[in-house]
Amino acid sequence: MKDSEFHALADAIYQHIETSIDNSGVDIDCETIGGVMTLTFENNVKFVINRQEPLHQIWLATRENGHHFALKDEQWIDNRQGHELLSWLSLQAQRQGETELAL
């Protein structure tokens, strides 16, 4: 994958997350600066999502752990545990952020 392709795919997933939050009506502060997206929940739990361009991965840091997602068959899959990014993010929003977030 070329870097430009990776950036387009990462931009798309970031936009999907932000749009889903905006459309959900939940109170999650979403801020993106320089390829790093920070989600802050009402209970002050923060998630950080960032791009790892050299590896063509998206990393998610939560209060519990960090996860590295690589594109496999058009889905971002955690290379250690096999979780899909959007479903894992929704589950952790519920568990840690105490917020229902459909992605």
Residue 30 pLDDT exceeds 90: yes
Confidence of residue 52 (pLDDT cuts 50, 70, 90): very high
Q: What is the pLDDT of residues 63-77, one digit of tens each?
A: 988 999 999 999 999
Phi/psi at 28 (nearest 5 deg)?
Answer: -125, 125
pLDDT of residue 64: 85
Map residue 22 onto helix, strand or coil: helix
